[in-house]
Amino acid sequence: MSNILEVKNVVKKYGDFVALNEVSLTVPKGSIYGLLGPNGAGKTSLIRIINQITMPDSGEIILDGERLSPKHIQHIGYLPEERGLYKTMKVGEQCLYLAQMKGLSKAEAKEQLEYWFERLGIQGWWNKKIQELSKGMAQKVQFVVCVMHKPKLLIFDEPFSGFDPVNANVIKHEILELQKQGSTIIFSTHRMESVEELCDHIALIHKSNKLIEGRLDDVKRKFRTNSFEVGILSDNVEGLMYDITQKFKVGQTNFKSLNNEIKLEVQLGNTMPNELLNLLTQRGQVTHFMEKIPSVTDIFIQAVSEK
Protein backbone atom coordinates (compact mmCIF):
# COMPACT_ATOMS: atom_id res chain seq x y z
CA MET A 1 0.00 0.00 0.00
CA SER A 2 1.46 3.40 -0.98
CA ASN A 3 1.47 6.30 1.45
CA ILE A 4 -0.60 9.47 1.17
CA LEU A 5 1.51 11.25 3.81
CA GLU A 6 5.11 10.94 4.92
CA VAL A 7 6.45 12.92 7.84
CA LYS A 8 10.24 12.87 7.80
CA ASN A 9 12.34 13.80 10.84
CA VAL A 10 10.20 16.78 11.77
CA VAL A 11 11.45 19.05 14.56
CA LYS A 12 9.40 21.86 16.06
CA LYS A 13 10.53 24.08 18.94
CA TYR A 14 8.85 26.92 20.79
CA GLY A 15 11.74 28.71 22.44
CA ASP A 16 13.51 26.12 24.58
CA PHE A 17 10.54 23.74 24.49
CA VAL A 18 10.78 20.88 21.98
CA ALA A 19 7.28 20.05 20.73
CA LEU A 20 8.39 17.49 18.12
CA ASN A 21 11.72 15.70 18.21
CA GLU A 22 12.75 14.10 14.89
CA VAL A 23 9.24 12.65 14.39
CA SER A 24 8.70 10.45 11.32
CA LEU A 25 5.37 8.87 10.32
CA THR A 26 3.90 7.18 7.25
CA VAL A 27 0.15 7.25 6.63
CA PRO A 28 -1.03 4.63 4.08
CA LYS A 29 -3.56 5.63 1.44
CA GLY A 30 -7.09 4.64 2.35
CA SER A 31 -6.33 4.10 6.02
CA ILE A 32 -7.92 5.49 9.16
CA TYR A 33 -4.83 6.43 11.10
CA GLY A 34 -5.10 7.03 14.82
CA LEU A 35 -2.75 9.73 16.10
CA LEU A 36 -2.59 9.18 19.84
CA GLY A 37 -0.81 10.69 22.80
CA PRO A 38 -1.35 12.40 26.15
CA ASN A 39 -2.06 16.11 26.38
CA GLY A 40 1.03 18.07 25.40
CA ALA A 41 2.60 15.15 23.55
CA GLY A 42 3.00 17.06 20.26
CA LYS A 43 -0.04 15.85 18.29
CA THR A 44 -1.54 19.29 17.74
CA SER A 45 1.84 20.73 16.74
CA LEU A 46 2.17 18.03 14.07
CA ILE A 47 -1.38 18.55 12.81
CA ARG A 48 -0.81 22.29 12.54
CA ILE A 49 2.36 21.67 10.51
CA ILE A 50 0.55 19.30 8.12
CA ASN A 51 -2.09 22.02 7.63
CA GLN A 52 0.66 24.61 7.07
CA ILE A 53 -0.62 26.74 9.93
CA THR A 54 2.93 26.62 11.29
CA MET A 55 6.18 25.44 9.72
CA PRO A 56 8.65 22.87 11.07
CA ASP A 57 12.11 23.98 12.16
CA SER A 58 13.55 21.06 10.20
CA GLY A 59 12.37 17.94 8.40
CA GLU A 60 9.84 17.68 5.59
CA ILE A 61 6.29 16.57 4.81
CA ILE A 62 5.44 14.64 1.64
CA LEU A 63 1.80 14.61 0.51
CA ASP A 64 0.92 12.08 -2.19
CA GLY A 65 4.48 12.03 -3.52
CA GLU A 66 5.07 15.79 -3.50
CA ARG A 67 6.74 17.99 -0.95
CA LEU A 68 4.03 19.83 0.97
CA SER A 69 3.36 23.32 -0.41
CA PRO A 70 0.55 25.93 -0.27
CA LYS A 71 -1.21 24.38 -3.29
CA HIS A 72 -1.95 21.27 -1.20
CA ILE A 73 -4.27 23.13 1.17
CA GLN A 74 -7.14 22.28 -1.20
CA HIS A 75 -6.34 18.57 -0.83
CA ILE A 76 -6.66 18.54 2.96
CA GLY A 77 -9.78 18.75 5.09
CA TYR A 78 -9.22 19.74 8.72
CA LEU A 79 -11.68 19.50 11.59
CA PRO A 80 -9.90 21.20 14.51
CA GLU A 81 -10.65 20.48 18.15
CA GLU A 82 -11.34 24.18 18.67
CA ARG A 83 -13.97 24.94 16.07
CA GLY A 84 -13.55 28.02 13.88
CA LEU A 85 -16.93 29.02 12.43
CA TYR A 86 -18.05 32.66 12.38
CA LYS A 87 -20.84 32.82 14.95
CA THR A 88 -22.79 35.72 13.43
CA MET A 89 -22.79 34.42 9.83
CA LYS A 90 -25.62 32.31 8.49
CA VAL A 91 -24.81 28.63 8.04
CA GLY A 92 -25.43 28.44 4.29
CA GLU A 93 -23.63 31.70 3.52
CA GLN A 94 -20.62 30.61 5.57
CA CYS A 95 -20.42 27.14 4.04
CA LEU A 96 -20.58 28.56 0.51
CA TYR A 97 -17.79 31.00 1.33
CA LEU A 98 -15.54 28.32 2.83
CA ALA A 99 -16.23 25.89 -0.02
CA GLN A 100 -15.12 28.46 -2.59
CA MET A 101 -11.97 29.09 -0.56
CA LYS A 102 -11.25 25.37 -0.98
CA GLY A 103 -11.48 25.69 -4.77
CA LEU A 104 -15.11 24.77 -5.50
CA SER A 105 -17.19 26.90 -7.84
CA LYS A 106 -20.41 28.31 -6.41
CA ALA A 107 -22.44 25.73 -8.33
CA GLU A 108 -20.22 22.85 -7.13
CA ALA A 109 -20.39 24.17 -3.58
CA LYS A 110 -24.21 24.31 -3.62
CA GLU A 111 -24.40 20.77 -5.01
CA GLN A 112 -22.11 19.39 -2.32
CA LEU A 113 -23.79 21.32 0.45
CA GLU A 114 -27.26 20.17 -0.59
CA TYR A 115 -25.96 16.58 -0.55
CA TRP A 116 -24.38 16.84 2.90
CA PHE A 117 -27.18 18.88 4.48
CA GLU A 118 -29.69 16.26 3.38
CA ARG A 119 -27.43 13.38 4.42
CA LEU A 120 -27.02 14.77 7.95
CA GLY A 121 -30.61 15.98 8.24
CA ILE A 122 -29.78 19.67 8.62
CA GLN A 123 -31.63 21.13 5.60
CA GLY A 124 -33.51 23.58 7.85
CA TRP A 125 -30.34 25.19 9.17
CA TRP A 126 -29.34 27.10 6.01
CA ASN A 127 -30.50 30.52 7.26
CA LYS A 128 -29.66 30.00 10.93
CA LYS A 129 -26.70 31.76 12.47
CA ILE A 130 -24.00 29.63 14.11
CA GLN A 131 -24.67 31.33 17.44
CA GLU A 132 -28.24 30.00 17.30
CA LEU A 133 -27.03 26.39 17.14
CA SER A 134 -26.15 24.04 19.96
CA LYS A 135 -22.56 22.82 20.16
CA GLY A 136 -23.51 19.49 18.59
CA MET A 137 -25.41 21.21 15.76
CA ALA A 138 -22.43 23.46 15.07
CA GLN A 139 -20.22 20.36 15.03
CA LYS A 140 -22.25 18.92 12.17
CA VAL A 141 -21.81 22.11 10.17
CA GLN A 142 -18.07 22.07 10.84
CA PHE A 143 -17.92 18.44 9.70
CA VAL A 144 -19.60 19.38 6.41
CA VAL A 145 -17.12 22.23 5.90
CA CYS A 146 -14.28 19.76 6.43
CA VAL A 147 -15.39 17.11 3.91
CA MET A 148 -17.44 18.95 1.24
CA HIS A 149 -14.52 19.54 -1.17
CA LYS A 150 -13.62 15.81 -1.25
CA PRO A 151 -10.02 16.18 -0.04
CA LYS A 152 -7.41 13.43 -0.39
CA LEU A 153 -6.57 13.68 3.30
CA LEU A 154 -8.97 14.35 6.18
CA ILE A 155 -7.71 15.28 9.63
CA PHE A 156 -10.21 14.98 12.48
CA ASP A 157 -9.07 16.31 15.87
CA GLU A 158 -11.49 15.07 18.56
CA PRO A 159 -14.37 14.81 16.05
CA PHE A 160 -16.90 13.51 18.60
CA SER A 161 -16.49 16.37 21.05
CA GLY A 162 -19.90 17.87 21.79
CA PHE A 163 -21.92 15.04 20.24
CA ASP A 164 -24.46 12.92 22.07
CA PRO A 165 -24.12 9.13 21.50
CA VAL A 166 -26.67 9.08 18.66
CA ASN A 167 -24.96 11.81 16.63
CA ALA A 168 -21.51 10.44 17.47
CA ASN A 169 -22.60 7.20 15.78
CA VAL A 170 -23.85 9.19 12.77
CA ILE A 171 -20.40 10.77 12.37
CA LYS A 172 -18.64 7.41 12.87
CA HIS A 173 -20.74 5.98 10.05
CA GLU A 174 -19.87 8.91 7.79
CA ILE A 175 -16.15 8.52 8.55
CA LEU A 176 -16.28 4.85 7.55
CA GLU A 177 -18.20 5.75 4.38
CA LEU A 178 -15.58 8.34 3.47
CA GLN A 179 -12.89 5.70 3.85
CA LYS A 180 -14.84 3.33 1.57
CA GLN A 181 -14.93 6.10 -1.03
CA GLY A 182 -11.13 6.38 -0.95
CA SER A 183 -10.43 9.08 1.62
CA THR A 184 -7.49 8.77 4.00
CA ILE A 185 -8.23 9.91 7.53
CA ILE A 186 -5.98 10.97 10.38
CA PHE A 187 -7.96 10.63 13.54
CA SER A 188 -6.79 12.21 16.81
CA THR A 189 -8.79 11.48 19.94
CA HIS A 190 -8.61 10.59 23.62
CA ARG A 191 -11.54 8.18 23.21
CA MET A 192 -9.77 4.83 22.93
CA GLU A 193 -12.99 2.96 22.21
CA SER A 194 -13.34 5.02 19.03
CA VAL A 195 -9.79 4.07 18.02
CA GLU A 196 -10.67 0.38 18.46
CA GLU A 197 -13.78 0.81 16.31
CA LEU A 198 -12.36 2.92 13.50
CA CYS A 199 -8.58 2.82 13.14
CA ASP A 200 -6.53 0.29 11.20
CA HIS A 201 -3.19 2.05 11.82
CA ILE A 202 -1.98 3.96 14.88
CA ALA A 203 0.94 6.06 16.08
CA LEU A 204 1.62 7.08 19.66
CA ILE A 205 3.50 10.30 20.41
CA HIS A 206 4.71 11.02 23.93
CA LYS A 207 6.90 13.86 25.17
CA SER A 208 7.60 15.01 21.59
CA ASN A 209 8.78 11.57 20.43
CA LYS A 210 7.12 8.80 18.46
CA LEU A 211 6.93 5.66 20.57
CA ILE A 212 4.77 3.37 18.43
CA GLU A 213 3.61 3.16 14.82
CA GLY A 214 2.08 0.41 12.71
CA ARG A 215 -0.99 -1.56 11.83
CA LEU A 216 -3.24 -1.82 14.86
CA ASP A 217 -3.30 -5.64 14.69
CA ASP A 218 0.50 -5.77 14.51
CA VAL A 219 0.89 -3.38 17.45
CA LYS A 220 -1.50 -5.49 19.53
CA ARG A 221 0.47 -8.62 18.71
CA LYS A 222 3.67 -6.91 19.81
CA PHE A 223 2.13 -6.07 23.19
CA ARG A 224 0.69 -9.54 23.84
CA THR A 225 1.65 -10.97 27.25
CA ASN A 226 0.64 -14.62 26.67
CA SER A 227 -2.18 -14.17 29.18
CA PHE A 228 -5.44 -16.10 29.00
CA GLU A 229 -8.86 -15.58 30.49
CA VAL A 230 -10.22 -18.95 31.58
CA GLY A 231 -13.38 -20.21 33.22
CA ILE A 232 -13.81 -23.64 34.80
CA LEU A 233 -16.42 -25.55 36.80
CA SER A 234 -14.80 -27.64 39.53
CA ASP A 235 -15.87 -29.54 42.65
CA ASN A 236 -12.43 -28.96 44.14
CA VAL A 237 -11.63 -25.28 43.74
CA GLU A 238 -8.86 -25.27 46.32
CA GLY A 239 -7.10 -28.19 44.64
CA LEU A 240 -7.52 -26.57 41.22
CA MET A 241 -6.06 -23.29 42.41
CA TYR A 242 -3.13 -25.07 44.04
CA ASP A 243 -2.30 -26.92 40.81
CA ILE A 244 -2.56 -23.78 38.66
CA THR A 245 -0.47 -21.57 40.94
CA GLN A 246 2.31 -24.17 41.06
CA LYS A 247 2.93 -23.68 37.33
CA PHE A 248 1.47 -20.31 36.35
CA LYS A 249 1.12 -16.76 37.55
CA VAL A 250 -2.50 -15.99 38.33
CA GLY A 251 -3.88 -12.47 38.05
CA GLN A 252 -7.49 -11.45 38.58
CA THR A 253 -9.73 -14.14 40.13
CA ASN A 254 -13.52 -14.26 40.29
CA PHE A 255 -15.14 -17.17 42.14
CA LYS A 256 -18.87 -17.88 41.96
CA SER A 257 -19.75 -20.24 44.77
CA LEU A 258 -23.27 -20.86 43.48
CA ASN A 259 -22.12 -23.23 40.73
CA ASN A 260 -18.47 -23.69 41.74
CA GLU A 261 -17.32 -21.72 38.69
CA ILE A 262 -14.04 -19.91 38.88
CA LYS A 263 -12.77 -17.34 36.39
CA LEU A 264 -9.07 -16.56 36.21
CA GLU A 265 -6.56 -14.50 34.32
CA VAL A 266 -3.49 -16.69 33.88
CA GLN A 267 -0.11 -15.53 32.61
CA LEU A 268 1.67 -18.37 30.82
CA GLY A 269 5.11 -16.85 30.41
CA ASN A 270 6.98 -19.11 27.98
CA THR A 271 4.57 -22.02 28.46
CA MET A 272 2.34 -23.15 25.59
CA PRO A 273 -1.44 -22.66 26.03
CA ASN A 274 -2.07 -26.40 25.59
CA GLU A 275 -0.30 -27.13 28.87
CA LEU A 276 -2.72 -24.91 30.76
CA LEU A 277 -5.70 -26.28 28.85
CA ASN A 278 -4.69 -29.88 29.59
CA LEU A 279 -4.41 -29.08 33.29
CA LEU A 280 -7.83 -27.43 33.34
CA THR A 281 -9.60 -30.28 31.51
CA GLN A 282 -8.16 -32.75 34.03
CA ARG A 283 -9.54 -30.76 36.97
CA GLY A 284 -12.99 -29.76 35.76
CA GLN A 285 -15.20 -28.51 32.93
CA VAL A 286 -13.72 -25.64 30.93
CA THR A 287 -16.34 -22.97 30.18
CA HIS A 288 -14.10 -20.24 28.79
CA PHE A 289 -10.58 -20.16 27.34
CA MET A 290 -9.45 -17.09 25.42
CA GLU A 291 -6.22 -15.18 24.98
CA LYS A 292 -6.34 -11.70 26.47
CA ILE A 293 -5.44 -9.33 23.63
CA PRO A 294 -4.35 -5.89 24.90
CA SER A 295 -6.71 -3.02 24.16
CA VAL A 296 -5.52 0.30 22.78
CA THR A 297 -5.99 1.68 26.29
CA ASP A 298 -3.71 -1.04 27.72
CA ILE A 299 -1.06 -0.31 25.08
CA PHE A 300 -1.34 3.45 25.61
CA ILE A 301 -0.90 3.19 29.38
CA GLN A 302 1.96 0.69 29.19
CA ALA A 303 3.91 2.58 26.53
CA VAL A 304 3.54 5.94 28.23
CA SER A 305 4.32 4.63 31.73
CA GLU A 306 7.54 3.02 30.51
CA LYS A 307 8.94 6.36 29.30
CATH 3.30.70.120 fits 226-291, yes or no: yes
Domain boundaries, the chain: 3-221, 226-291
Task: Quote the CA–CA distance of 274 and 277 in Å, as a whole number.
Answer: 5
In whole angstroms, what separates CA 269 from the centre of its chain? 30
Question: What b-and-e string marks burial along 76-88, b requiring 16 or more CB atoms within 10 Å of the CB?
Answer: bbbbbeebebeee
Q: Tell me the whole-structure pTM to 2 decimals.
A: 0.86
Dump pLDDT digits (tens) for 214-258: 999 999 999 998 899 998 888 887 888 888 888 888 876 665 555
What's the CATH number for 3-221? 3.40.50.300
Q: Using only the alpha carbons of the chain, give its radius of gyration.
A: 25
Classify 272 as helix, strand or coil.
coil
Dump pLDDT digits (tens) for 85-102: 888 899 999 999 999 888
